[in-house]
Structure 1
Amino acid sequence: MNQLQNLLNQLESYITSYAKENTAISNSTVGWQIVHSFMVINNVVDAIKKSNPNNYKWRFNKNRFLVQTILKKIPRGKVRAPKAVQPFEEITLEHLKNQLEITRNNIAGLGILGSKNYFTHPFMGDLNLKTTIHFLELHTKHHLKIIEDILKT
């Protein structure tokens, strides 16, 4: 979980650049990328907390294997973010700071969960706690890379 917390710190370092954009890289601003990352973490943590570990059963999933083992990253431009994790309100500095604190608290709460708490990803299937954290790390790195590319120009 330390890596996820470090990635969150990196997102925090970009908050002051929230209004920057580069449509050659993304149609979304830096702020959108940050809020989306927070929303994914928070929604996934909420889902994994509510899961019943007794219902978890590992199954091979080729998408999970490809992303987490072979590619070790989420390919850019292959999937659109579901509406549930698309920021819909105006993104402000205050909103970003509030969401950052909520996200920090949610990440800290992962430490009390059991190894068989799980999250069901639409393409990768059921991800246990360890695999969920790995997914959140890959997802956050994916959006950090987009942010870095937006800010390069």
Structure 2
Amino acid sequence: MNTEKLDYLLQRIEGYIENHEVLKLDISKASVGWHLDHSLKVVNAVVKTLQESDPTTYKNNFSFVGKVFFALGFFPRGKAKAPKHVKPPEVVLKEDIILQLEIAKTNIKTISSLDNNAYFKHPLFRHINKKRVVRFLVLHTNHHVKIINEITS
């Protein structure tokens, strides 16, 4: 289980924390802080769900759309809505981002010790198990890091 790319992306996130209030509406309706908070909420929620999942109920039903996006290596912009439980609050606090980042760093270290059929249910891609989860988290986090990079450029 290689998490180097995810570790690198978390370092990138850490580097953007000082710019959490920056907003550039021609790039995104959301601030840098929103993208940081959302990305970290996704990492932490996914790992928590994997940890709590029952591997015996895993179904290999990864969707065709998921296979296409994983093969392409990116997610298109503006096509998906963040589920409520990973949506940032109205005001994103720097302290909250820092805390979530530390939790995310710890959480990703636990993935390798999980059962191979630990999984979470994605609304579009269906079941994503341990084998695919790091790729998902890298693609998702990178999607938001690219947006943040454009906002701060």
Tell me if TM exceeds 0.5: yes
Q: For the residues of structure 2 that align with 1:65 and 1:145, how far apart are their CA atoms?
A: 21
Residue 115 of structure 1 corresponds to 116
Q: Kindly report the root-mean-square deviation, in angstroms, between the aligned alpha carbons of the 2 structures.
A: 1.2
Q: For the residues of structure 1 that align with 2:146 and 2:11, how far apart are their CA atoms?
A: 14
Does the 8 Å CA contact 2:62/2:125 hold for their aligned counterparts?
Answer: no
Q: For the residues of structure 1 that align with 2:17 and 2:62, how far apart are their CA atoms?
A: 38
Q: What does 1:11-50 align with in structure 2 at a 5 Å threshold?
A: 11-50=13-52
Cα offset for 1:65? 1.1
Q: Which runs of 5+ in 1 are unaligned?
A: none
Cα displacement string for residues 32-58 of structure 1 (whole angstroms, at most 9, x for unaligned residues): 100000000111111111111112121
Residue 67 of structure 1 corresponds to 69
Task: Detail structure 1 runs of 4+ shifted over 6 Å in the superposition.
Answer: none
Q: Which amino acid letter does the alignment assign opposite residue 139 of structure 1?
A: H
Residue 125 of structure 1 corresponds to 126
Q: Which amino acid letter does the alignment assign opposite residue 129 of structure 1?
A: K
Q: For the residues of structure 2 that align with 1:109 and 1:141, how far apart are their CA atoms?
A: 20
Q: For the residues of structure 2 that align with 1:80 and 1:119, how far apart are their CA atoms?
A: 18
Residue 106 of structure 1 corresponds to 107
TM-score, normalising length: structure 2: 0.94
Q: Which runs of 5+ in 2 are unaligned?
A: none
SS at match of 1:14: helix
Change (3 A) 1:104 1:123: same
Residue 140 of structure 1 corresponds to 141
Percent sequence identity over matched residues? 38
Q: Which amino acid letter does the alignment assign opposite residue 100 of structure 2?
A: Q
Q: Which amino acid letter does the alignment assign opposite residue 96 of structure 2?
A: H
